[in-house]
A and B are shown apart, each in its own frame.
Chain A
């Protein structure tokens, strides 16, 4: 099974239309990939669906990078 990082990378690549090899844990959605406010809402929704987690709005605001998304998911995913 693909790692959380690989699966997040797939979703970010698909949602924001960027090649996977340009995405690292340090990649920022807004600064590096040009995501706007609607993109980030949509991205959070996709992550929630893929990993079956709930990302509250205050937590979502803090998830600025691919790595931060992976950390949140690994800490909150149901076992």
Chain B
């Protein structure tokens, strides 16, 4: 029999707030974390806005020497993980280290370090490329550093499925506990791709919004006038714990993880399947895994990136899975407030979905002004909605055709 898995700790790093309670309040208030990018010089860039974290500092979390040896995305992961572990009340010195693991996703990994060292390589020569280049840029550095911080020696790896990374990672962490490979997993995602190359690369794909005159209105998922996603950075980390282990220590339980599903589009490297077939498959697989009927889900935190094709395909997919119930669900995309944290987005979105359960409140999709006939569901426009929320679904889809869905519910004993 599969073991039960609950969430006992949560931590976030976003451009809107770096504490879960502050983030929840800001998201409900409809605030936007989008602004003119300032962590690098955007001269010559077509798009100059996004959700970067300009005053980032790691004091009190990572010591000065280590911070120099850790890329920005891993710093985000570490800070969010430390907050999540603190929140959980766990003392890892009292746990069997081989029963505690880490799976953190990232879409790209250490892009800042790649760019910095490439500049040194080209201007100063190969002998001046830092000895820390590889251990900083590697995508698995976040999982590695979190395990080193706490001495965790259970399952430890990274997941890279672009913007689905965090959700795929959390699905794996969930199963590691279900199938008795571990009792505790620190999991989620981290991303720091607000860099010159990251911004230019996404902009030249025509993937980004070009609403230059209104950056805070640029991320408008499901709205008829949406024109692309907004590039953001940050992390969302959670502590997943086996139920009896959590109970034995009297831990606060935010909710229970009930199922996950994954699929591939097998179609195009960046364009979503227009009918959302792969996305629907991931949602259906998660429902089957959770032994739930679609009619039981109350709220979907959509992938909803604000791209013309993606939001439409996700809507089509939701309708194909949920039928009539699609119109009774509450749906929202918190990317409307936060922009797109790429491989970190699923982690932050599961945190917000668990807060939605805790507060029986759906966070809104802000910037929703003009309905799109192709997106005709209830996206919780502009203001939060109070309703009973016992079961949530969170979707994440990534370039590469990766689709990942996770389902969580109110912990009812």
Show the binding face of A for B, using Cβ within 8 Å: 15-18, 38, 41-42, 45, 49
Contact = CB atoms under 8 A, between A and B. Distances in A.
B113 to A, nearest CB: 13
A39 to B, nearest CB: 8
Interface string B46-83: 00000000000000000111101100000000000000
B122 to A, nearest CB: 16
B130 A17 contact: no
Contacts of B130: 42, 45
Contacts of A42: 130-132
B128 interface: yes
Contacts of A16: 65
B132 A45 contact: no
Per DSSP, are chain A's interface residues mostly helix, strand or loop, or mixed? helix
B187 to A, nearest CB: 28
A16 B69 CA distance: 10
21 contacts: A15-B65, A15-B68, A16-B65, A17-B63, A17-B64, A17-B66, A17-B68, A18-B65, A38-B69, A38-B131, A38-B132, A38-B135, A41-B131, A42-B130, A42-B131, A42-B132, A45-B127, A45-B128, A45-B130, A45-B131, A49-B128
Interface string B121-137: 00000011011100100
Contacts of B66: 17
Greatest chain A CB density within 10 A among B64, B128, B131, B132 is at: B131
Nearest to B129: A45
Nearest to B65: A17
Interface of B: 63-66, 68-69, 127-128, 130-132, 135
A16 B63 CA distance: 10
A41 B128 CA distance: 10
Given A15-B68, A17-B63, A17-B66, 16 more contacts: A15-B65, A16-B65, A17-B64, A17-B65, A18-B65, A38-B69, A38-B131, A38-B132, A38-B135, A41-B131, A42-B130, A42-B131, A42-B132, A45-B127, A45-B130, A49-B128
Contacts of B65: 15-18
B125 to A, nearest CB: 11
A45 to B, nearest CB: 6
A42 B128 CA distance: 9
A23 B69 CA distance: 21
Contacts of A18: 65
A9 to B, nearest CB: 16
A69 B371 CA distance: 69
A49 B128 CA distance: 9
A38 B136 CA distance: 12
A48 B395 CA distance: 50
A13 B101 CA distance: 34
A38 B63 CA distance: 17
A52 B130 CA distance: 17
Q: Which of A16, A41, A45, A49 has the most CB of B within 10 A?
A: A45
Nearest to A16: B65
A11 B395 CA distance: 47
Contacts of A41: 131
Contacts of A38: 69, 131-132, 135
Contacts of A15: 65, 68
A38 B130 CA distance: 9
A18 B65 CA distance: 8
A33 to B, nearest CB: 9
A38 B69 CA distance: 10
A41 B132 CA distance: 9
Nearest to A38: B131
A15 B68 CA distance: 8
Contacts of B63: 17
- Most chain B beta-carbon neighbours within 10 Å: one of A18, A42, A49: A42
A15 B69 CA distance: 10
A71 B127 CA distance: 23
Contacts of B128: 45, 49
Nearest to A18: B65
A15 B131 CA distance: 13
